[in-house]
Amino acid sequence: MTPVVQEVVLLPNMKNNAAAQETRRKLMDAGGEIFAERGLYAATIKQITDRAGVNVAAINYHFRDKFELYAAVVRYALSMTPTPLSAPAGRSPEERLRDDIAFMIADRYDPSRPAWRSTLLAHEFAQPTAALEAVMEELIRPRANFIEDIVRGILGPGASDDDVVRAALSIGGQCFFYLYHDEIIRRLHPGLIHENNSEELVSHITEFSLAALHAMRKRQKQAPQRR
């Protein structure tokens, strides 16, 4: 699992100065926070530049306009959200599923990464912009493929593509809920999520999903003609 390298898209006649990169980073950090707090449209560039400690015109200079800044912030968030690329040899599908779920949950609450990432993406999911394309291709689809591989490993070759996809979506849906809608969960059950029980959470999702997958597999064997 390696982080995506963030490609810095530079406007014409702009040198890749260290100072300029620092300003860009400050703007993207501040933009991440503000866009997550308020959304693309309710956020104002003044709020962002104030928090970044720079002048409003800096956005025009470094990103052309508010929307380009937003797109850069989304890419920035993606660059800080690693996708699983490989697994140690010898891990069973079951172990890889647990690893992956644990990985996503851990990343979500990783204190070394900005907490605004999931909120920002939640906005993007509710109100897609052009940036959703990048989110799909760099984050969602790799993860979906990864889970589908695991599912296919567990269900075996007898499973139909639709079965694989639906099972993967059932797993992904559970994770998605915790990753992007923990506000709802907190309102429903204030004490459920806290910093010391992510282990139990991961175990629950893993076991819930594995039990379902194993049952699907067993049912296929009993009715192999069904497809």
Partner DNA sequence: AATGAATGAGCCTTCATTCAT
Partner DNA sequence: GATGAATGAAGGCTCATTCAT
Q: Which residues lie near DNA (CB under 7 A)?
A: 13-17, 19-20, 22-23, 43-46, 54-62, 64-67
Number of shown-chain residues binding a second copy (CB under 8 A): 52
Closest approach of a second copy to the CB of residue 85, in Å: 19
Residue of 25, 64, 181, 227 that binds a second copy (CB under 8 A): 181
Stretch that binds a second copy, among 16-24, 70-78, 92-100, 122-130 (CB under 8 A): 122-130
Distances (CA, A) of 109 to 16, 42, 138: 32, 26, 20
Q: How far apart are CA 220 and CA 227, in angstroms?
A: 8
**CB 1, CB 7: distance < 8 Å:** no
Q: How many CA atoms lie within 13 A of 147 on its CB side?
A: 30
Of residues 71-100, which lie at the interface with a second copy (CB under 8 A)?
none
Given 11, 85, 212, 227, the residue binding a second copy (CB under 8 A): 212
Dihedral of the CA atoms 32, 38, 39, 42 (nearest 10)? -120
The distance from CA 91 to its chain's CA centroid, rounded to whole angstroms, is 24
**From DNA, a second copy, none, interface partner of 65 (C-beta below 5 to 8 A by class):** DNA
Query: Smallest distance, Å, CB 22 to a second copy?
Result: 20
